[in-house]
Amino acid sequence: MRVITTIKEMQGLARTFRLEGRSIGFVPTMGYLHEGHMALMEKARNENDIVVLSIFVNPLQFGEGEDLDAYPRDFEHDRKAAESKGVDCVFYPSPEEMYPSDSTVKVTVQDRTDVLCGRSRPGHFDGVATVLTKLFNIIMPDRAYFGLKDAQQVAVVEGLVADLNIPVELVPVPTIREGDGLAKSSRNVYLSPSERNQAKELFRSLQLAKEYIENGERNPREIITLMEDWLRTHTDAAIDYVSIYSYPQLKPVGALSGKVIVALAVKFSKARLIDNLILEIETRG
């Protein structure tokens, strides 16, 4: 496995792979890899000749009050994890390599960002879109793999790829969960034992919503109230949001139909957790 730190070397290697007719699967990350990232690497390994993993803590994604320096980093752990999953190349650039001077061009996302987590993080998805545009141009992948735990990010990237005609296939990968349903996340380690026990109720509230929808409930307000009541009754967490939108458009819905996302975010004492389910709802005539 090669660790590459410069754009020139990575771009040159990617060109070589493409000239040789080898497909490239790309897994973009900010490092501190966990089981969710492992699933992305495994799927990329199964579907491509070459797997490239990027590790880059993107400063453009951090807004006011968000501590870039405090973001967890452990490159040696990440290197071993990537090697264990058969990754061919780790692209590990410095911030100076990716952003050598004041940029003259930045990608601005016009839609799908003013709801869910994007509502409280203005500019965050502009940073995501900008760095991914750069990474897609550097690595030139055939396929790029994203976890559906951050379904809003997947929706934004779908729009980016479509609008800018980027020749890459996006491969969304289902959320990886603990045995009790809690979505895998590096933030889970910040939960106290009591909070960790309560955290399983996030997925339970989503399952409850799914059950009610399958039994015919089509009023999104009723589903949201049901979930909020469940979370308040079974956890001490502060609810950031419980929302239902069309997916991937992320627009408000009236009577539930078609593809929708049921999403939530809650705050425990030292960790903010998100989760979601994406459902296909039949329109009843």
Q: Name the binding residues.
A: 30-37, 61, 147-150, 153, 176, 184-187
Query: Which CATH number does the domain housing residue 35 bear?
Result: 3.40.50.620
Q: Is 37 a catalytic residue?
A: yes
What residues contact residue 236 under an 8 Å CB cut-off, 6+ apart? 194, 195, 198, 268
Same domain, 74 and 124: yes
Range of the domain at 94: 2-173
Residue type for 135, please? L
Query: What CATH code is carried by the domain that includes residue 205?
Result: 3.30.1300.10
Please give the DSSP secondary-structure letter assigned to residue 183.
B
**Mean per-residue pLDDT, 201-217:** 97
- Distances from the Cα of 61 to the Cα of 18, 91, 103, 127, angstroms: 30, 18, 15, 5
> Measured between alpha carbons, how far is 182 from 163 in angstroms, rounded to an integer?
34
* pLDDT single digits (tens) 159-199: 999 999 999 999 999 999 999 999 988 788 889 999 999 99
Lowest pLDDT segment from 25-39, 59-73, 77-91, 148-162: 59-73
Of the candidates 111, 138, 173, which is a domain's last residue? 173
Q: Is 197 within a domain?
A: yes
Annotated binding-site residue numbers for beta-alanine: 61
29-54 mean pLDDT? 96
Domain count, the chain: 2
Tell me 260's DSSP state: E
Answer yes or no: do 41 and 73 share one domain. Answer: yes
Any domain includes 285 = no
Asked which of 173, 199, 225 is the last residue of a domain, the reply is 173
Please determine, for residue 37, whether its predicted confidence score (pLDDT) is greater than 70. Answer: yes
| Bond preceding residue 220 cis, omega within 30 of 0 | no
User: Would you say residue 13 has pLDDT above 70?
Assistant: yes
Confidence of residue 64 (pLDDT cuts 50, 70, 90): confident
